[in-house]
């Protein structure tokens, strides 16, 4: 019989000094835009006292413009509740998902973290908030594994806790060296701060000899399944509910499911499961197999029907939903939230030929067009050619536009151009308009639109719940096309490309497989190492 456990804060025992930091990025190997240092500087890059200031509930927004309290805030709260824990801010860097990180940029960020760790003096533990799907051309191991290894070397004797995004791609050297490992348990990800709290709480309890973390993990030959993979909707609701209930058992420290981000060049892609128990290896192995079976059982759950751009616009025009608010068209093939550059021009091309009388809001990454018109007076009209992201090979679209509004959003310049009923947000950086305030910053009311094109799979839904009631996935062509998952090569038979009867046939092969060093003669690698 399972006994439900009260909240265990880790109080009592010796005084502790624990450092905390972050290097967080999700990469898309098919984006022509490397993620350079400026991308981190625009969103989040802090050290020392400045990091400490935003990592408290009263200090400020940990991730400005996105989420006030994230993993590091949650970790600091766990330390405060445990008592007699000194938290040492190290270095933290996070950028919007994008192309691979150039090696020089990665080295700069890692040096910041490692040097801060060395300067901190003796540390009993270190907590790292990582993603799990970073990509750095030229490395012979997963970037997160390199981060863990170098931080451990900089803090000899310290025990390590790591949290990952639930879209992380687990590999051996990301799992086996750490003492505590947890993942987000919500998709969309609202539980960043609770995840940091869970990691910190387990680390402190381990350091005070209150628990003995014992791990088991599995790797599934699965890159796409589970329908929309939203944690509170079928079919994944049952899996996540069962997994969360595990931690009500005092013998279980954590349970995690990783529904992989499939757009990196990693050779060992696949969903993964992880269980940590309090000193019971047999229980960890039994539960991780059961969690794997439950996740594997959802592999054939299908995605919602995909529309072409024309089909989606016709559906909006003919339907009654317009009276209830805008319809979100999810640009499945150009998801900035999954690392695409956001420069898809196919929507603009279709709307320029026939806008169907729909008031449409469309974000496009086109830094050359923005630069050409940034100093143009408001109200001026121009004949322009929209080309999207340089190197993205999108169709050129000739338009007659009026310059309307200029704004700086999420650290990047954004220019509103009106092409009749189509309102274009031309962005200097890849656009991620997950909050309606993106449009209000451009003097547009999201509730008045018929169509809003979204560059995110999941997270925007948290912020658009009161704005939009209908969401249609739309395909065109771009960096996050699902077609790529069915065409790429895998080291083992992989669902859904191949028929795979049992995940156990490939589990050990995927867990033991080494990270493949990315070929440096590919266009993406050449751009990222430039």
| Half-sphere exposure of residue 89: CA atoms within 13 angstroms, side-chain side | 20
104 Cβ contact partners less than 8 Å away, ≥ 6 residues apart: none
- Give dist(CA 172, CA 294) in Å, integer: 22
- Give dist(CA 49, CA 91) in Å, integer: 10
Please check whether residue 488 lies inside any domain of the structure: no
Q: Are residues 188 and 290 in the same domain?
A: yes
Q: Are residues 410 and 269 in the same domain?
A: no
Element (H, E) at 512: helix 504-512
Please check whether residue 432 lies inside any domain of the structure: yes
Please check whether residue 461 lies inside any domain of the structure: yes
- Give dist(CA 515, CA 371) in Å, integer: 40
Q: Are residues 321 and 289 in the same domain?
A: no
Domain closes at, from 296, 321, 354? 296
Element (H, E) at 46: strand 44-47
Q: Are residues 355 and 236 in the same domain?
A: no
Which residue ranges of the chain lie beneath pLDDT 70?
1-7, 514-530
The model's pTM: 0.93
- Give dist(CA 217, CA 277) in Å, integer: 12
Q: Reduce the DSSP state of residue 45 to 3 states and report it.
A: strand
- Give dist(CA 33, CA 15) in Å, integer: 46
Q: Are residues 184 and 227 in the same domain?
A: yes
* pLDDT at res. 459: 85
- Give dist(CA 236, CA 185) in Å, integer: 11
* pLDDT at res. 411: 80
Closest among 263, 418, 438, 320 to 453, alpha carbons compared: 438
DSSP 175: H
- Give dist(CA 261, CA 228) in Å, integer: 13
- Give dist(CA 174, CA 260) in Å, integer: 14
Burial of 33 (0-12, 13-18, 19+ CB in 10 A): buried
- Classify strands 422-427 and 412-419 as parallel, antiparallel or unpaired: antiparallel
Q: Are residues 395 and 267 in the same domain?
A: no
Q: Are residues 291 and 313 in the same domain?
A: no
DSSP 302: P
Instruction: Compute φ and ψ for 161, nearest 5 degrees.
Output: -115, 140
**Over 79-134, what HEC string results?**
HHHHCCEEEEEEEEEECCCECCCCHHHHHHHHHHHHHHHHHCCCCCEEEEEECCCC
DSSP 334: G
> Angle 419-420-426 (CA atoms, 0-180°, nearest 5)?
25
Taken in order 286, 287, 290, 292, the sign of the CA dihedral is negative
Contact by Cβ (8 Å): 434, 409? no
- Give dist(CA 313, CA 349) in Å, integer: 13
Please check whether residue 9 lies inside any domain of the structure: no
Please check whether residue 480 lies inside any domain of the structure: no
- Give dist(CA 387, CA 369) in Å, integer: 8
Residue 315: C-alpha distances to residues 308, 310, 440, 471, 474 (Å):
11, 9, 26, 12, 12
* pLDDT at res. 530: 42
Q: Are residues 258 and 402 in the same domain?
A: no
**Over 10-36, what HEC string results?**
CCCCCCEEEEEEEEECCECCCCCCCCC
* pLDDT at res. 319: 86
- If one counts every other C-beta atom within 10 angstroms of the C-beta of residue 74, the result is 27
Q: How many domains does the chain have?
A: 2
Please check whether residue 501 lies inside any domain of the structure: no
Range of the domain at 93: 16-296
Instruction: Return the structure tokens found at 456.
Output: 């995110």
Q: Are residues 72 and 205 in the same domain?
A: yes
Please check whether residue 206 lies inside any domain of the structure: yes
What sections of 375-459 are H helices per DSSP?
Answer: 437-440
- Give dist(CA 207, CA 125) in Å, integer: 8
Residue pointed to by tokens 């919602």: 304
Residue 372: C-alpha distances to residues 38, 355, 362, 384 (Å):
21, 25, 19, 10
Burial of 73 (0-12, 13-18, 19+ CB in 10 A): buried
DSSP 215: E
- If one counts every other C-beta atom within 10 angstroms of the C-beta of residue 383, the result is 8
Q: Are residues 315 and 450 in the same domain?
A: yes
Please check whether residue 524 lies inside any domain of the structure: no
Q: Are residues 46 and 126 in the same domain?
A: yes
Q: What would the pLDDT profile of 63-116 be if each residue is shown by its tens digit?
A: 877 778 999 999 999 999 999 999 999 999 999 999 999 999 999 999 999 999
- How large is the angle between the packed helices 143-154 and 103-119, nearest 10 degrees? 20
Instruction: Return the structure tokens found at 161.
Output: 């806790």
Q: Are residues 242 and 366 in the same domain?
A: no
């Amino acid at each position: 019989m399972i006994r439900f456990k009260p909240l265990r804060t880790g109080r009592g025992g010796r005084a502790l000094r624990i450092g905390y930091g972050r290097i967080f990025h999700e990469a898309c190997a098919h984006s022509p835009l490397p993620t350079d240092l400026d991308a981190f500087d625009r969103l989040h890059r802090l050290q020392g006292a400045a990091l400490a200031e935003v990592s408290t509930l009263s200090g400020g927004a940990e991730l400005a413009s996105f989420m006030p309290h994230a993993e590091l805030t949650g970790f600091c709260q766990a330390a405060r509740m445990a008592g007699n824990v000194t938290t040492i801010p190290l270095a933290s860097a996070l950028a919007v998902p994008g192309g691979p990180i150039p090696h020089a940029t990665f080295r700069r960020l890692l040096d910041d973290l490692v040097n801060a760790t060395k300067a901190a003096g003796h540390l009993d533990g270190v907590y790292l908030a990582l993603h799990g799907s970073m990509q750095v051309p030229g490395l012979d191991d997963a970037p997160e594994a390199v981060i863990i290894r170098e931080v451990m070397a900089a803090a000899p004797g310290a025990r390590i806790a790591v949290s990952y995004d639930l879209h992380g791609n687990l590999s051996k050297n990301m799992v086996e060296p750490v003492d505590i490992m947890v993942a987000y348990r919500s998709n969309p990800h609202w539980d960043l701060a609770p995840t940091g709290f869970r990691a910190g709480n387990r680390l402190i309890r381990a350091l005070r000899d209150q628990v003995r973390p014992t791990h088991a993990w599995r790797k599934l030959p699965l890159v796409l399944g589970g329908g929309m993979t939203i944690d509170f909707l079928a079919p994944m609701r049952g899996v996540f509910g069962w997994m969360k209930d595990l931690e009500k058992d005092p013998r279980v420290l954590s349970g995690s499911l990783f529904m992989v981000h499939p757009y990196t060049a990693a050779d060992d892609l696949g969903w993964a499961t992880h269980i940590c128990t309090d000193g019971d290896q047999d229980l960890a192995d039994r539960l991780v197999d059961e969690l794997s079976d439950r996740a594997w059982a959802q592999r054939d759950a299908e995605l919602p029907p995909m529309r072409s751009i024309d089909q989606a616009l016709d559906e909006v025009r003919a339907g009654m939903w317009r009276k209830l608010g805008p319809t979100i068209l999810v640009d499945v093939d150009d998801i900035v939230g999954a690392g695409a550059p956001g420069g898809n021009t196919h929507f603009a091309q279709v709307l320029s030929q026939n806008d169907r009388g729909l008031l449409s809001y469309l974000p496009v990454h086109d830094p050359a067009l923005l630069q050409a018109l940034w100093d143009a007076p408001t109200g001026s009209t121009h004949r322009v050619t929209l080309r999207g992201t340089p190197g993205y090979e999108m169709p050129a679209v000739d338009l007659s536009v009026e310059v309307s509004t200029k704004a700086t959003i999420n650290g990047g310049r954004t220019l509103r151009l009106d092409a009749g009923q189509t309102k274009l947000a031309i962005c200097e950086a890849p656009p991620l308009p997950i909050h309606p305030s993106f449009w209000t910053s451009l003097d547009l009311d999201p509730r008045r639109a018929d169509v809003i094109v979204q560059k995110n799979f999941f997270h925007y839904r948290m912020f658009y719940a009161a704005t939009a009631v209908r969401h249609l996935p739309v395909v065109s062509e771009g960096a996050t096309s699902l077609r790529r998952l069915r065409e790429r090569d895998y080291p083992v038979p992989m669902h859904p490309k191949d028929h795979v009867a049992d995940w156990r046939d490939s589990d050990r092969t995927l867990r033991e497989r080494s990270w493949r060093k990315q070929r440096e003669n590919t266009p993406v690698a050449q751009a990222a190492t430039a």
